[in-house]
Amino acid sequence: MGCSFCICVQLEATVLLNSSYDISRELFTALNSEFVVEWQRKHPNDKLLIRQSHAASTKQVMSVLHGLRADVVTYNQFIDVQTLYERGRLIPFDWQKRLPNNSSPFYSTMIFLVRKGNPKNINDWHDLARDGIKLIFSNPKISGSGRYAYLAAWGVISQKFKGDQNKIRSWMSKFLKNVEVFDIGGRNATTTFIERGQGDVLISFESELCNIINQYKTNDYEVVIPKVSIFAEFPVTWIDKNVDKNGTREVAIDYLNYLYSKSAQEIIVKFYYRVHSINLMRKNMNRFPVIRMFKVEDYFGNWQTVMDIHFSVGGELDQLLKNGRCYAFNN
């Protein structure tokens, strides 16, 4: 009888599915717990279950386009969400205007993690193309964090060489030659660096690397903060066609608006994501060192141009890789 009762409750519950990027598991586990309590307080007769789906962001987009009935998406790049409009018409063209800050409730940037004592003396992006440096980051073809790592390096070096394309490409070839493993996603790259002991430098989101230091509670690693890096938005939206089929429009919209609430923003900051609240950032300034950030639009036009020029088949990334050696791709 007890088991039957549990199944009955499960069937009657409203289920909200969040399709998200690879390294956001812990963040959304914490946010979901608080939102469920808040939802139950407002809707005592509507039991809510929030399910999470995580993988490299581009793989997540393809899953939704191929039929995954996600109610909301919480990704780490504009282009991945926009693809849901471009290729599936699952959301409206102006989805970015539905929530504050271009529908991005928080943001981050790319930094480095090195071994204890920083034995390779890594201090900034310029050091990453030196001979003998082994880099770990995720595959820019399918992963948001990999794409940001590549674009951050290109943008910083573009400043140094004042836009000289030959010098930029030469430096980028050396940078990519130093990649020991292109992992399938951000969390896989972390596993390769931490648990398999590969590489001298792990490049990933500030949130991921600072949380690693806290999680492992060892002195085996050091965070290196570059002077300049890239501004990484984390856009969210509800999927109109899915929430109408699933009957979850109200809870999906409420859930994403909750991400902008004071209580949610305080949780987000604890996971080392930056927020747009000046007061909250001042309160947590010890967690967020000053980094000069540039936007994708500052150097690359827009995201569609980025995808066409750099990450399409035969694009800049493929050409630069062709100039180097063979790479290890973890699948």
Over residues 166-190, the mean pLDDT reads: 93
Amino acid identity of 275? V
Given a cut of 70, is residue 104 above it in pLDDT? yes
In contact, 51 and 10? CB cutoff 8 Å: no
Closest-CA residue to 132 (of 183, 226, 200, 190): 200
Amino acid identity of 2? G
What is the C-alpha separation between 230 and 241, in angstroms, rounded? 33
Closest-CA residue to 143 (of 229, 85, 79): 79
Which range among 1-15, 63-77, 174-188, 234-248 shows the weakest confidence by mean pLDDT? Answer: 1-15
**Radius of gyration of the CA atoms of the chain, in A:** 21
DSSP for residue 246: H
The number of angstroms, rounded, from the C-alpha of 34 to the middle of its chain's C-alpha atoms is 22
In contact, 147 and 110? CB cutoff 8 Å: no
What is the C-alpha separation between 111 and 219, in angstroms, rounded? 18
In contact, 261 and 38? CB cutoff 8 Å: no
pLDDT for position 184: 86
| Per-residue model confidence as pLDDT tens digits over 68-95 | 999 999 999 999 999 999 999 999 999 9
Using the structure block, give the residue that is written with the tokens 């890594």: 122
- Strand partners of residue 52: 18
Give the pLDDT band of residue 3 (cuts 50, 70, 90). very low
Phi, psi (degrees; rounded to nearest 5) at 196: -95, -10
Given a cut of 80, is residue 98 above it in pLDDT? yes
Share of the chain above pLDDT 70, in %: 94
